[in-house]
Structure formats: C-alpha cells, structure tokens
C-alpha cells in the first residue's frame, strides 16, 4: 500500500508558504504551534481581533496575567496591548528559527492595529509604532487595513523600518494602490538609510468573503445563469490579483528597489476556509497555487489539506482571461463588482472593529472579576 503524498509539502514546494490563521496562549503553552511548524510545514502566523477575542473567551490560559493586570489597575486598552503583544512576542520566538532559515522571508507573526482607527492615518501610525516597540522582534508584522486612510500609514511605517501586513484587501484597484504604497515606503526607507533586506510585507487579499457576498446576490436573482456562477467570483478575483502582482513587480520601479536589496510584497490569501458546505473545504487552497504567495489557514483547513488536498501545481497562471469572463458574466446579470468590493471593505472594517470592542469588553469583565 502506497502512502498518501504530503500535500502540505507539495504546496510548499510549489511556492505557497503555509501560515496558521490563529493564535492563543493555549497553543503556545501546549506546544501546538511548535508541532504545526514541525509536522505541518507551517512557517508563519496571522492573528486578528476575532481570534484574540475567541482565545480569551475560552479556557483559563490568561488568568494569571489578568490577575496581575487587575492588581496593577491598568486600563482596558493597556491590558489588551499587554495580552496580545505577550502572545505575539512568544509566537515570534517560536518561529524565529524559520525566520533565520529563510532569510526573513517567513517565520513572521502578524499583530493588528486597533481596527477602530482604520479611518485615521495619524493614529494608525502612532499605534503601529507602539506595537512594534512593545513586541520588539524583527519577525513581527504590523497589520494595517487597506483603507484610504491606511495607505499613507503603510508607506510611513515601511519608511521607518516597520514590516507591514496589509489586511482587508478586496478589490483589484485597492490592491494596486497597496503595491504603490509599498513601493513608496521602501523608496523612503532606502533614502532614510534603512536596510531594505530586513524589511518585509505581505498584502492580504480576502477570498471566501467574496463568494459569500456574490453568491447571496446570485441566489436572489435565482436564474440558471446565476446558479452557474456560484463559487466562481472569489477565485477569479484572487487570480486577477496575482496577474496584477506579476505586472507591478515586473516594472522598472520595482527592479530598482530589488537591486537595493528589497524583497517583493507577497500576495497573501486570507479568509481561505470555505463558508459554503457545498464547496470542497480545500478549494481556496488548491485552486490558488502560484509561486511566491502565502496562504494563511485555520488549523481545520491545514488538516483538511493534509488529509485530502490534491495539489495540482500552479492553478493561477493561465486563468486570467477565464477569470475576467467571470466578472463580465456577473456584470451582465446585474452584479456590480465595484459595489461588491465596496460593501466587503466597509463590512470587513466594521466586523474587525466590533470584534475588537468585544475583546475589550471580555478583558474588562475579566479584570473586574479578578
């Protein structure tokens, strides 16, 4: 009997960095994160407010730290920074060997700026600086949303030598602006004397939420033509994002930065667990394989890929015309791409802001109880 191929190893060999979309004190204390790195080819970690709120709401892994914070009488805002930076700093240390082995390409851990600041450039920059200083690890990413106010914050943080994970990207137009903000940040960093080789960035392009929004609109239309388009928009959007990545990182502007030691800003596929049970649970992984990308997955998706994922090599390049046709067909039956991505960006910021508020309320309740 032949053994099943290691799909996660195949994914890595095809140029896809496998990252875990989760963090908790329990994962760290139990050695679970270290085991995923050792056994499941995990080379990075992302976090968000929803993940931290879930971690604090389950189990008692944070009890000791909460007791100490309550004794010190710290504010809820300070407590949230202390708790989240503690976990992220620890995860950075667990992943440091990966960071060193890959020359800083992987081994990264992401920590998000308070999403309630997404509309305020100056506050986003100030918070990013504070988090960068608090964690104090070279393999940290500061997550900044790709809102209009976030774009200049991305450039400014990179110019100061802060590595950035740009989050909540839904539209191709916004993604182009994100890449331009990245280029500008590196150019300014170079002028300021920073070592570009030590700077890194990823651009987190959200996947499954596109299908969730588009499919709900298709279901309301209810025609056979609409049904035929279900589950196609998210992959098409991500694949066209990769086409844009190839174009932008083939320009003279990028090549000048590359000569100065810069690494490309890799596309990162986020929100890659399927939300519709009708779709294969590995769809947003095996259908988005291309060189030089990151796929950040919940543990359940990582395990699903390991168990039954079929990696078929590059499933992105060569699909661009077919992907454009998906959006032409959607427009033809009355679904506006621009409206879909605008709704998704607004909802994305609102959802993370609500999760952050829930996190603060959870911490406040725990501090009061201690």
Structure-token pair, residue 216: 């709900």
CB distance 151 to 183 below 8 Å: no
Q: In angstroms, how far apart are the furthest CA atoms of the chain?
A: 63
CB distance 142 to 164 below 8 Å: yes
Task: Provide the CA 370 distance to its chain's centre, in angstroms.
Answer: 34
Burial of 139 (0-12, 13-18, 19+ CB in 10 A): buried
> Using alpha carbons only, what angle is made at residue 19 by residues 145 and 2, rounded to the nearest 5 degrees?
150
Active-site position among 123, 143, 263, 275 = 143
Coil, strand, or helix at residue 204?
strand
Beta strands at 42-46 and 164-169: parallel, antiparallel or unpaired: unpaired
Annotation says 143 is catalytic: yes
C-alpha span between 130 and 153 (Å, rounded): 14
Structure-token pair, residue 65: 């730290």
C-alpha span between 195 and 309 (Å, rounded): 39
Structure-token pair, residue 328: 């032409």
Strands (E), 231-316: 266-270, 293-297
Coil, strand, or helix at residue 180?
helix
C-alpha span between 41 and 19 (Å, rounded): 8
Beta strands at 140-145 and 266-270: parallel, antiparallel or unpaired: unpaired
The helix (run of H) or strand (run of E) holding residue 274 is none
Coil, strand, or helix at residue 200?
coil
The helix (run of H) or strand (run of E) holding residue 66 is helix 63-72
Burial of 219 (0-12, 13-18, 19+ CB in 10 A): exposed
Catalytic positions, please? 143
């Amino acid at each position: 009997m032949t053994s099943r191929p290691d799909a996660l190893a195949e994914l890595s060999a095809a140029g896809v960095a496998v990252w875990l979309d989760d963090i908790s004190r329990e994962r760290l204390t139990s050695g679970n994160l270290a085991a995923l790195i050792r056994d499941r080819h995990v080379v990075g970690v992302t976090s968000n407010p929803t993940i931290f709120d879930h971690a604090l709401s389950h189990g008692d892994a944070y009890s000791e730290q909460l007791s100490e914070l309550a004794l010190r009488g710290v504010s809820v805002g300070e407590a949230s920074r202390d708790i989240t930076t503690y976990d992220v700093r620890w995860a950075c240390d667990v992943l440091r060997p990966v960071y060193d082995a890959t020359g800083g390409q992987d081994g990264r851990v992401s920590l998000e700026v308070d999403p309630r600041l997404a509309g305020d450039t100056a506050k986003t920059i100030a918070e990013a600086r504070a988090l960068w200083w608090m964690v104090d690890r070279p393999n940290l990413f500061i997550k900044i949303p790709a809102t209009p106010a976030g774009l200049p914050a991305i450039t400014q943080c990179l110019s100061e030598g802060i590595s950035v994970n740009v989050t909540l990207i839904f539209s191709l137009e916004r993604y182009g602006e994100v890449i331009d903000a990245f280029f500008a940040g590196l150019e300014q960093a170079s002028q300021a004397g920073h070592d570009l080789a030590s700077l890194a960035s990823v651009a987190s392009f959200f996947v499954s939420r596109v299908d969730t929004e588009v499919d709900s609109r298709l279901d309301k239309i209810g025609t056979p033509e609409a049904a035929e388009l279900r589950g196609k928009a998210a992959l098409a959007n991500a694949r066209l994002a990769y086409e844009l990545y190839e174009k932008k990182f083939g320009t003279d502007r990028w090549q000048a930065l590359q000569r100065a030691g810069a690494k490309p800003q890799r596309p990162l596929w986020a929100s890659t667990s399927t939300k519709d049970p009708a779709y294969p649970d590995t769809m947003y992984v095996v259908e988005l394989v291309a060189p030089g990308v990151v796929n950040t997955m919940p543990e359940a998706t990582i395990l699903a890929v390991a168990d039954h994922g079929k990696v078929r090599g590059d499933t992105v390049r060569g699909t661009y015309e077919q992907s454009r046709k998906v959006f032409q067909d959607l427009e033809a039956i009355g679904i506006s791409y621009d409206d879909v991505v605008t709704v998704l960006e607004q909802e994305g910021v609102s959802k993370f802001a609500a999760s952050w508020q829930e996190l603060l309320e959870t911490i406040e309740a725990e501090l009061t109880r201690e």
